[in-house]
């Protein structure tokens, strides 16, 4: 099934020219200025408005079937490390330090970040997360990182 999910992802270099500029931190020369990135809990009902649905958690969501999740791509490589995820435990008091550490991890994953940006291009995409906490989670931090570093 995972192989089938990857078939839905366009091949690198096949995206529109408007999607071909992202800041150096993301490891590519493409721009994310026009990227339409949303976030949503994977347990919420999927919608055509979600666009491409990308799961960014390292673990598959508990109790969720592949059919119900409607995931186009599972990109574990951009998820926080297990150690960081466990340390953070969605504690709002640790949020700023979590983001700092997570963004440091993302900078060590330039190929995964480049792939994510290329996959999204200029289309609408929704980063999916499994946490109950909707304000302090990896999807919020990841979207913020992409938007802050793409000029």
What is the torsional sign of CA 115, 138, 22, 19? positive
Write down the pLDDT at residue 148: 84
For the full predicted model, state whether its pTM sits above 0.75. yes
Q: How many CA atoms lie within 13 A of 62 on its CB side?
A: 2
Write down the pLDDT at residue 5: 37
Chunked mean pLDDT (size 10), the chain, 151 residues: 37 38 46 76 95 96 93 96 96 96 94 92 93 94 87 44
Write down the pLDDT at residue 150: 62
Write down the pLDDT at residue 17: 36
User: In whole angstroms, what is the distance from residue 28 CA to residue 141 CA?
Assistant: 19
Write down the pLDDT at residue 26: 52
What is the torsional sign of CA 138, 144, 147, 149? negative
């Amino acid at each position: 099934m995972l192989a089938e999910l990857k078939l839905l992802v366009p091949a690198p270099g096949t995206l529109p020219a408007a999607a071909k500029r992202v800041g150096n931190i993301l490891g590519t020369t493409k721009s994310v200025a026009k990227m339409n990135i949303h976030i949503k809990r994977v347990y919420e009902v999927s919608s055509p408005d979600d666009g491409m649905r990308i799961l960014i958690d390292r673990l598959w969501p508990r109790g969720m079937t592949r059919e119900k999740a409607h995931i186009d791509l599972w990109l574990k490589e951009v998820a926080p490390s297990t150690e960081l995820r466990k340390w953070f435990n969605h504690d709002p008091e640790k949020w700023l330090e979590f983001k700092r550490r997570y963004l440091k991890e993302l900078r060590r994953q330039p190929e995964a970040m480049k792939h994510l940006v290329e996959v999204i291009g200029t289309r609408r995409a929704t980063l999916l997360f499994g946490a109950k906490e909707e304000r302090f989670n990896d999807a919020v931090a990841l979207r913020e990182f992409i938007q802050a570093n793409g000029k």
